[in-house]
C-alpha cells in the first residue's frame, strides 16, 4: 500500500522532532564545568532546593547541566512581553498590530530579555550554591568561576531556544511546549521507580501494595479528568444582521464564540508556583533557619506544604486565573468587534450590554476553570501529606496539565496535517 505524500511528510516531521528532543535530553546530562556532580548530588540539593522546578526541567537542575535553566527564561520573558503589550508599553502594542514585521520585532526582543533573565538567574543560582555548598566547585570558588558558569548556562538557554524554534518550523507542535513536555516525561520513570521503591521494595506489605495501586489509579483518573476539562468549551451563539435566515440550520446559528473552560491554560499555576518557589529558594540558598526569624515566616507563608502557604498558593491561582483570562479575552473588545462585523448575541443588545453579558459569562467560566486548576495543583500536596510521597512524585499538578494540553493540541495538528488537501474540480 502506497504511502501518501502527506503521511511521508508527517513521518519526516516526527523523526525531526524526535531527533531534536533526543539532543535536548543529552544536553540535560552534560554537567557544568568546574562542578563536582558527586558532591552536588551528595547534598541532595535537587530534592531539597529545586523540587517542582527540577521535575519541570526533567532533572537538568539536579544534574547541574549546561541546560539547567532550559527554556524557562524564554517562557518568563514571553509572559512578561505579552503582559506589557496590553496598553502598558505603547511601542509593544504598536508592534503587535503591525502584522508579521511587528511579530518578528517582538520575538527578537523576547529572546534578548530571555537571555538577560537566564544570565541573572544562573548567576544568582551559582553564587547562592557557592556560598552554601562551597565544595561542589572543583578548584575552589571565585567571581570568575561564577560569571563563567552563568555564561555557560545562558548559552544553554540560547541553545534550547534554537532547538524550540527549529522544532516549531520543521517538526510537530510548538517547539517550546515540546521541550517542556520532554523534560516532564523524562522525570516520569524516576517517579514510578520512587513509588515502587517506597511501597513495594521497602514496604512490601499488603497496605503498601494497596497504596501503590491507589496512587496509580489516582494518576489515571486525574489524566482523564484533565483531558475532559481541557477540551470543555462554552459556545456563545452569535448571528449576523446581514446574513439571511437560510444561513441557520434547524433553528441554530452556524456561528458562535467558543470560550474554553480553562481559557488561562496552565499559566496561573506556573505564575503561582514560581512566585511561591522564589522565597523558598532564598531560604535554602542563604541557609536561613525555618524555626525563627525571617526564615520562619517565609517558610510559613510561601511553603505550599504549610497551612498558610497552601492557602496563599490557592488564592494566587484564583487571582492569576481571573487576571489572565480577562487579559486574554477582553469583553469590551469582543463586543466592539461583534458590532463592527454586524454581529450580535441573540437576546442581547449590541455595545455595553453585550460587553456586560460577556463579562458575566467569562466570570462564571473562569470561576469553574480556576477551581479546576486549584484542585489539580493541590492534589500533589494533599497526596504527599497522606501517603508521605517524595518531591520526585508529582501525582497531578502543573506537569500533567502541560503534558495533556500539549498532547491534545499536537493530536489536533496531526489530524489537520493528515487531511487530504487536494481539492478537485466540480465535475470530478
Asked if the model's pLDDT at residue 214 lies above 80, the reply is: yes
Q: What distance in Å separates the CA atoms of residue 222 and residue 229, rounded to the nearest whole number? A: 10
Backbone angles phi and psi of 237, in degrees to 5: -70, 140
Residue 52 banded pLDDT, cuts 50, 70, 90 = low
For the segment 205-227, the average pLDDT, to the nearest whole number, is: 84
What is the second-level CATH architecture of the domain 1-171? Orthogonal Bundle (1.10)
User: pLDDT per residue over 10-30, tens digit each?
Assistant: 888 888 989 999 999 898 888
Q: What distance in Å separates the CA atoms of residue 147 and residue 153, rounded to the nearest whole number? A: 10
pLDDT (0 to 100) of residue 425: 46
Residue 154 banded pLDDT, cuts 50, 70, 90 = very high
- Asked if residue 401 lies in contact with residue 324, where contact means CB atoms within 8 angstroms, the answer is no
pLDDT (0 to 100) of residue 48: 53
Is 9 or 66 the better-scoring residue by pLDDT? 66
User: pLDDT per residue over 368-416, tens digit each?
Assistant: 999 998 888 888 788 888 877 766 666 556 777 778 878 877 887 777 7
For the segment 189-199, the average pLDDT, to the nearest whole number, is: 81
- Asked if residue 327 lies in contact with residue 86, where contact means CB atoms within 8 angstroms, the answer is yes
CA atoms within a 13 Å half-sphere pointing along the CA-CB vector of 424: 4
pLDDT (0 to 100) of residue 392: 60
User: pLDDT per residue over 261-314, tens digit each?
Assistant: 888 777 787 778 777 777 876 776 666 777 777 778 888 888 877 888 889 989
DSSP 351: T
Asked if the model's pLDDT at residue 151 lies above 90, the reply is: yes
Q: How is 150-165 classified by DSSP, letter by letter?
A: HHHHHHHHHHHHHHHH
What beta strand segments (E) does 153-240 contain? Answer: 233-240
Is the four-CA dihedral 202, 64, 31, 400 of positive or negative sign? positive
- Give the SS3 label for residue 31: strand
Asked if the model's pLDDT at residue 135 lies above 90, the reply is: no
For the segment 30-37, the average pLDDT, to the nearest whole number, is: 84
pLDDT (0 to 100) of residue 252: 46
Asked if the model's pLDDT at residue 349 lies above 60, the reply is: yes
Residues of the chain with pLDDT > 70: what percent?
85
For the segment 82-106, the average pLDDT, to the nearest whole number, is: 79
Domain ranges of the chain: 1-171
Which cell numbers hold the place of 224? 482523564
Q: What is the pTM of this model?
A: 0.76
- Asked if residue 187 lies in contact with residue 59, where contact means CB atoms within 8 angstroms, the answer is yes
Amino acid at each position: 500500500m502506497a504511502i501518501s505524500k502527506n503521511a511521508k511528510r508527517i513521518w519526516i516531521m516526527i523523526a525531526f522532532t524526535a531527533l531534536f528532543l533526543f539532543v535536548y535530553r543529552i544536553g540535560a546530562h552534560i554537567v557544568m564545568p568546574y562542578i563536582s556532580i558527586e558532591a552536588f548530588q551528595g547534598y541532595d540539593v535537587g530534592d531539597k532546593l529545586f523540587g517542582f522546578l527540577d521535575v519541570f526541567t526533567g532533572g537538568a537542575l539536579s544534574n547541574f547541566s549546561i541546560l539547567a535553566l532550559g527554556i524557562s527564561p524564554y517562557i518568563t520573558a514571553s509572559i512578561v512581553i505579552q503582559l506589557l503589550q496590553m496598553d502598558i508599553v505603547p511601542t509593544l502594542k504598536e508592534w503587535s498590530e503591525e502584522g508579521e514585521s511587528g511579530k518578528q520585532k517582538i520575538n527578537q526582543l523576547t529572546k534578548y530579555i530571555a537571555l538577560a533573565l537566564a544570565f541573572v538567574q544562573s548567576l544568582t543560582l551559582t553564587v547562592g550554591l557557592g556560598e552554601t555548598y562551597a565544595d561542589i566547585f572543583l578548584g575552589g570558588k571565585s567571581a570568575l568561576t561564577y560569571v563563567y558558569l552563568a555564561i555557560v548556562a545562558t548559552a544553554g538557554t540560547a541553545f534550547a531556544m534554537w532547538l524550540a524554534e527549529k522544532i516549531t518550523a520543521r517538526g510537530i507542535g510548538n517547539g517550546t511546549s515540546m521541550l517542556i513536555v520532554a523534560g516532564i516525561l523524562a522525570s516520569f520513570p524516576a517517579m514510578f521507580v520512587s513509588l515502587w521503591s517506597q511501597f513495594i521494595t521497602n514496604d512490601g506489605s499488603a497496605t503498601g501494595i494497596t497504596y501503590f495501586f491507589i496512587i496509580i489509579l489516582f494518576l489515571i483518573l486525574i489524566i482523564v479528568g484533565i483531558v475532559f476539562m481541557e477540551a470543555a468549551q462554552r459556545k456563545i451563539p452569535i448571528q449576523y444582521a446581514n446574513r439571511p435566515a437560510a444561513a441557520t440550520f434547524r433553528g441554530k446559528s452556524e456561528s458562535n464564540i467558543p470560550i474554553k473552560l480553562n481559557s488561562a491554560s496552565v499559566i496561573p499555576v506556573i505564575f503561582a508556583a514560581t512566585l511561591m518557589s522564589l522565597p523558598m529558594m532564598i531560604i535554602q540558598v542563604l541557609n536561613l533557619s525555618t524555626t525563627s526569624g525571617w526564615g520562619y515566616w517565609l517558610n510559613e507563608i510561601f511553603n505550599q506544604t504549610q497551612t498558610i502557604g497552601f492557602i496563599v498558593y490557592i488564592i494566587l491561582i484564583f487571582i492569576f486565573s481571573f487576571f489572565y483570562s480577562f487579559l486574554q479575552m477582553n469583553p469590551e473588545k469582543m463586543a466592539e468587534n461583534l458590532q463592527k462585523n454586524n454581529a450580535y448575541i441573540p437576546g442581547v443588545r449590541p455595545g455595553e450590554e453585550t460587553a456586560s453579558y460577556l463579562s458575566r459569562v467569562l466570570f462564571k467560566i473562569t470561576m469553574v476553570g480556576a477551581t479546576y486548576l486549584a484542585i489539580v495543583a493541590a492534589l500533589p500536596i494533599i497526596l504527599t501529606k497522606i501517603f508521605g510521597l517524595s518531591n520526585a512524585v508529582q501525582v497531578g499538578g502543573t506537569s500533567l496539565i502541560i503534558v495533556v494540553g500539549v498532547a491534545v493540541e499536537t493530536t489536533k495538528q496531526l489530524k489537520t496535517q493528515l487531511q487530504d488537501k487536494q481539492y478537485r474540480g466540480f465535475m470530478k
